[in-house]
Chain A
Amino acid sequence: MAVRRRHRLQRGMRFSEERLGASRAIKWALRYVFPDHWTFLLGEIALYAFIILVASGIFLTLYYVPSDTQVIYRGPYALLRGEQMSEAYRSVLDLSFNVPAGLLVRQIHHWAADVFVAAIVLHLMRIFFTGAYRKPRDLNYFIGLTMLMLAILEGFAGYSLGDDLLSGMGLAIAYSVALAIPFVGAQLGFLIWGGQFPGSADFLPRLEIVHVLLIPLAFAVLITMHLAMIMRQHHTQFPGPGRRERNVVGTPLWPAYALRSIGLLFAVAAVLVLVGGLIQINPVWQWGPYHPYLSENGAQPDWYIGWLIGALRLMPNFEPTIAGHTLIPNPFWGGLAFPLLVFAMMFAWPAIERRVTGDYRRHDLLDRPRDRPVRTAIGAAFLSWVVIIFAVGSTDRIFVRLHVPYEEQIHFWRVGVWLLPIIVFFATRQICRWLQRTGSHPLRDWEGAVIARRRDGGFEVVADSPQDAGAAEPGPPIGTAPGQESEL
C-alpha cells in the first residue's frame, strides 16, 4: 500500500519535474518557516476574506445590471411594486428575491467586505505597535497601506452600485468631495460622473468596471508583491529562546502549518457564510430607490466610511473664498484632507522614526509595544484621534438614543478631539513604563504575592511575584538591544 502510494506520488512529481524542474523551489517552499503567534493570522484573515470576496463577487457580477434607465418594479417585493427605480436597483432586488442563493451570496459579499477592511486595520495595528514596518519591511508596509486605501475605495464603490437610497446619498457626498478639490474639482466631478450629479448613463458602468476590474486587478498585483516580499525577507518574530535577528523559528509550511492555514481559510469562509445567511446586512429593499430629492434620516454607512462622516460632521463651516471664488469648499476638509493626512502620516512614519532615533539598521525581531513607550504612545494617541472622529459619526444616534443634544456633542468634540489624544499619549507612555518596570503582561500575568498556609494555621508570603514563585512562564527577554536605548 505504502509502496503504491509512493509510486504514484513519484510519477506525479516526475511528470512536473521533467517539464518545470522546480524541485528546489518546492523544497524551499515546503520548509518555509512560519513563526507561531496569533497576531500573524490577521493578515491571513484579510487574504482569505479577499478570496471569498472574489468568489462571491463573480457570482454577483453575473446578475448586476449597471443601468440608470428608469423602470417600474413588478417583482415579488410587494412594498416596492409599482415604484419607479433604476434598472440597477431592480437587478439588485431581483438578485435578492428571485435568484436562488442570491441573497445569501450578496450578504456574504457584504460581510466579507467589512471583515476584509477590519482585518487589514488590525493587521496594520500589529505591524505598527511591534515595529514590523522597519527596514527591510518598509516597502511592504507602504504596499499594505496602499491596499488599505484601495480596500476602503473598493468597499465604497461596491455598496454604491446598488443605486438604493443609501448608496445614492453616499455618491452625492462623494460627488461633493470631488467638486471640493480646489480649482479643478468641478471638471473632475463632471469627468467622473459624465455630467451634473446624479450623472449620465455612463456613470454606473464606469463605477462597475472600477469595482469589478480595475481595483481587483490592482489588488491582485499588490497582494502578489506583498507575499513575494514576505517570502524573500521571511516573517518577523518576537524575541524568545533561540530567536535571533538572523534566523526565524517556527512551524514549517509542510505539513502542520499548511493544514492549520487551510483550516483558517475554511473557518473564515464558514463564519462569513453563516453570518451572511443568518444576520441581515444592507437590506436594500428597505431603503427604496434613490432620487436626488429623497434622503433618509439616521442612515449609517459601512463602518470603514464612518471616520469620514465623523470628520465631515465635526468640521466647522469653514469655506474660504477669494475674489468671489470658493477656494476650498467645505467637504474637502473632512472628505479628503483628513483621510489624506491620516495616510500621509502613516506613510511618513518609518522615515520619521529613522531620523529621530538615528536607527537605520535592519530589524527582523519585533518589539514588544511596552519596550518602545514613546512609539506606542504616539500610535495610541493617533489611533484615539481617528477613533474619536469615527465615533463622532454616530453623534446623531447618541442623540436619538440618549438624548444628548447633537449640537452640544459637536461643540464638545471639536475641543475633545485635540485634548483626548494628548491624555492618551501620556497615559500610554506611563503604562508602558510601568509594564516595563514590573515585567508583567497586561493579559497573561498577575500581580500580587503568593501566600501559603503554615502548619500552625497562619499564612505567610512565600513570593512577591509569580516569577519568584516559579509559577509563570518565563517571558521573553525584555529586549532593548545595545545602542537602542531610545524609547521610540
Chain B
Amino acid sequence: MSDGPHRRPTRLRGTISMIAALLTARALRDAFARRRQARVTSRPLRTGEDPSQRDVAANRRAETLVAILLVGAGLFAFAFTIVYAAAGASTQLLAVTLGGALALLAAGAIVAGKALVPQEKSVEQRDVLLKEDELHEVLEIIESGGEGISRRKLLAGAAGLAGAGVLTAAVTPLASLGPDLDAIHQTPWRRGVRLVDDQGRPYTAEEVQIGSFYTALPEHADPGAFGSGLLLVKLPADRIHLPPARRDWAPEGILAYSKICPHAGCAISLYRYPTYQPTSVGPAFTCPCHYSTFSPGEGGRLMFGPAGRALPQLPLMIDAERNVRAAAPFREDIGPSWWSVRRGQS
C-alpha cells in the first residue's frame, strides 16, 4: 500500500508543520503569560473605585508571534492566487488557502490587540440626552417660523390635500405592474385535450395501472402553466365513491386531479396505495410541503392537513383510440385560495 518515495515528503511536511504548531503554541502561551501575571498582581477593585487602568505591554515575544502570523497570512494569501491561477483549482483548496490567510490575520489582530498594544480600561461619562433649556430654544425657533400666519387651518388643510394627491400619484404607476385578474381562472384544460406525459406521449387507458400514479400534462399547451399538471390514477370500482354529479368523470376507474395543492401551491408528489387491504386506510395523495392529504376515490376530499379545500377533479373521457382526454374544463379553481376562488362542492 505504501510506497516510500511518495510518503517521505508527506512525513517531512507533517514534521515541519508540527514543529511550527508547537512553536506557535509556545509563543502564544508566552504572549499571554505576562498578562496573566499582571492580572493576578493587580489589586482587586472595590465598588465605587475608579476602574481606569493602563498597562504598556512591551512584549517582544508577542511582537514575534504577530509577525509570524502576519507572514503566514501573506503566504497563504499568495497561495490562494497561485491555486486560482493553476488550472483545475478546486473549491476546497481555494477555501483552505484564503480561509487560512484570513484566520491567521484574525489571530494576528487579536494577539496584537490583547498582548502587543497598551491594555487600557477607561471610563467615559454618558451625555444627558434631554436638556430642557436646549429643548425650549429649539421649540421657540421652530414656532417663530410661523409668526404672522393667521389662517393656519386653511393652510394645513390645503397642504394635506396636496400631500394626499401627490402621494396617490406617486404610487399609481404601481398599478401598471400587474395584468388583469381574469387569467387566474384559466387552465389549459378544456373538452378534448389529450393527457400526455412529460415527453409528450399520450396516455392510453391501458397504461394507467392500479397502484401507481402518473403525472399528466395537456397536449400542445404550456407545461409550465400553473394549472397544467395533473395526477392520474386508476382505482378499483369499490374504492370509488364520487358525488352523484361526478358519476361519469372517471371512465373505467381512471381519475384525474389537479397536481397543484389547494393549500399553498406545491405539486403533490406522494401517493399512498393500501397494500394490506383489511386494516389500512384508503388510497391517498399527500403534498410534500405541509402534508395535506386527499382521497382520490372521493372526489379529492381532504383527509388530513391544512388545505382549506378539496383537490379539484378534472372530468375525463376515453376516445376511440383509447387515449385519455379531458371531458370538460375544471369546474373549480386550481391552486391556492383567494377571496373569490371558485370552491368545489365536496
Pairing of A with B: yes
In angstroms, Cα B268 to Cα A297, docked, is: 9
Contact A292 B267 (CB under 8 A): yes
| 8 A Cβ contacts from A263-310 to B | 263-267, 269-271, 273-274, 276-278, 291-299, 309
- The digit string for B305-344, where 1 denotes a CB below 8 A from any CB of A, is 1111100000000000000000000000001111111010
Would you call A248 an interface residue if the criterion is a C-beta within 8 Å of the partner chain's C-beta atoms?
Answer: yes
Identify which of A14-22, A147-155, A183-191 touches chain B: A183-191
Q: Is A313 an interface residue (CB 8 A)?
A: yes
B220 to A: closest C-beta gap in Å: 16
B129–A136 contact, CB under 8 A?
A: yes
B124 at the interface (CB under 8 A from A): yes
Question: Which residues of B lie under 8 Å from residue A326 when comparing CB positions?
Answer: 308, 337-341, 343
Bound: A292/B217 CA distance, A: 11
- Which of B92, B125, B229, B268 contacts A246 (CB under 8 A)? B125
Interface size on A, residues (CB 8 A): 105
B46 interfacial contact with A, CB 8 Å: yes
B21 beta carbon closer than 8 Å to chain A = no
- B106 in contact with A266 (CB, 8 Å): yes
* C-alpha spacing A47/B55, complex, angstroms: 30
Q: Are A234 and B126 in contact (CB under 8 A)?
A: yes
Residue of A nearest to B122 (CB): A252
Q: Say if the beta carbon of B14 comes within 8 Å of chain A.
A: no
Q: Known contacts A292-B224, A292-B260, A330-B308; is A172 also within 8 Å of B266 by CB?
A: yes
Q: Which residues of B contact A246 (CB under 8 A)?
A: 125-126
Instruction: List residues of chain B with CB within 8 A of the CB of A31.
Output: 122, 124
How far apart are the CA atoms of A33 and B271 in the complex, in Å? 63
- Among residues of A, the one whose C-beta sits closest to the C-beta of B292 is A317
Please measure, in the bound complex, the distance between the C-alpha atom of A372 and the C-alpha atom of B345, giving whole angstroms.
Answer: 55
CA A312 – CA B337 in complex, angstroms? 14
Residues 30-75 (chain A) with a chain B CB within 8 angstroms: 31-33, 70
Q: Using Cβ atoms and an 8 Å threshold, which residues of chain B touch A176? A: 263-265, 335-336
Known A297-B288, A321-B343: A331·B126 in contact at CB below 8 Å: no
The B interface, classified by DSSP as helix, strand, loop or mixed, is loop
B341 surroundings in chain A (CB, below 8 A):
326, 329
CA distance A318 to B308 in the complex (A): 6
Give complex CA distance A262, B107 in Å. 10
Say yes or no: A267-B338 contact (C-beta < 8 A), given A104-B95, A293-B217.
no
Q: Taking beta carbons and an 8 Å cutoff, which residues of B are in contact with A?
A: 44-51, 84, 89, 91-92, 94-96, 98-100, 102-103, 105-110, 112-114, 116-127, 129, 174-175, 177-179, 181, 183-184, 186, 215, 217, 223-226, 228-229, 259-260, 263-270, 287-292, 302, 304-309, 335-341, 343
Q: 9 A-B Cβ contacts within 8 A?
A: A101-B94, A196-B225, A234-B126, A252-B120, A271-B99, A273-B98, A292-B267, A297-B288, A477-B47
New contact pairs (10) apart from A191-B175, A312-B306, CB-CB < 8 Å: A173-B266, A242-B50, A256-B117, A257-B113, A263-B112, A267-B102, A293-B260, A327-B339, A330-B307, A330-B337
**Measuring CB to CB, which residues of chain A are less than 8 angstroms from any residue of chain B?**
31-33, 70, 100-101, 103-104, 107, 136, 169, 172-173, 175-177, 179-180, 182-187, 189-192, 194-198, 200, 202, 232-234, 241-243, 245-252, 255-267, 269-271, 273-274, 276-278, 291-299, 309, 312-313, 315-319, 321, 324-327, 329-331, 334-335, 362, 364, 396, 406-407, 410, 474, 477
